[in-house]
Chain A
Amino acid sequence: NAGVTQTPKFQVLKTGQSMTLQCAQDMNHEYMSWYRQDPGMGLRLIHYSVGAGITDQGEVPNGYNVSRSTTEDFPLRLLSAAPSQTSVYFCASSYSRAGSSSYNSPLHFGNGTRLTVT
């Protein structure tokens, strides 16, 4: 099994450009999420989805859009890139949203996309 696959691994954008970060998982997980990781800070949740057709905002959603048309895919769109969006982005999935049942499903992470906005 490939697990969680993210593409691209690296990307450089100019301010104002748009792009889509791809995320796919082959574990039939209902829950998928996007995080950003910045130096000296904990992971911050951008958007998440509890199933196909359902998405919701996380802690830092501004400037990003998501959609979930299939169980497998959860792309993240940057609408108009800004230097503040320079970061490493991780996609993560789990069997269920952590805490949705008495069993807390651990997250499975992709290997990240390193994005630089100049």
Chain B
Amino acid sequence: EDQVTQSPEALRLQEGESSSLNCSYTVSGLRGLFWYRQDPGKGPEFLFTLYSAGEEKEKERLKATLTKKESFLHITAPKPEDSATYLCAVQAGTDSNYQLIWGAGTKLIIKP
């Protein structure tokens, strides 16, 4: 069964304390992996798409990486405004039958 698992469920960091969020997946026919950010009371907001193992994408303090079994979202020197829930979604399947499978998210809290 296709599955996407995010860990940890929640992460509390001090401002400036770097860390990583994990998204592990077991799917057949990976077509792409997406990272989204969700603020309380808001809809998810797109961050990155990764397509193949070894690919990396960066945006400000965030860097996403991809291997054949997992993706990491690295947060360098985070600020309180980086506090949010980060969602991972994997697009998998064949050309005629594919789906988007979502992880449950990691809630990140950055303390000043």
A90 vs B44: C-alpha distance when bound (angstroms) = 9
Give how many B residues have a beta carbon under 8 Å from the other chain's beta carbons. Answer: 26
Interface of B is mostly: strand
Residues of B within 8 A of A20 (CB): none
- In the complex the two chains form, is B43's CB within 8 Å of A90's CB? yes
B31, B34, B43: residue with the most chain A Cβ atoms closer than 10 Å: B43
Given A45-B100, A98-B91, A104-B49: A109 and B31 interface contact (C-beta under 8 Å): no
Q: How many A-B residue pairs have CB under 8 A?
A: 55
CB A37 to nearest CB in B, in angstroms, measures 9
Residues of B within 8 A of A44 (CB): 102
Given A98-B91, A99-B91: A106 and B46 interface contact (C-beta under 8 Å): yes
- In the complex the two chains form, is A112's CB within 8 Å of B46's CB? no
Sample 26 A-B pairs with CB under 8 A, ordered by A number: A4-B43, A40-B104, A41-B104, A42-B87, A42-B89, A42-B101, A42-B102, A42-B103, A42-B104, A42-B105, A43-B87, A43-B89, A59-B99, A92-B43, A99-B31, A99-B32, A106-B34, A106-B49, A107-B44, A107-B46, A108-B46, A109-B44, A110-B43, A111-B41, A111-B43, A112-B41
Residues on B close to A: CB < 8 A?
4, 31-32, 34, 36, 41-46, 49, 51, 87, 89, 91, 93, 95, 98-105
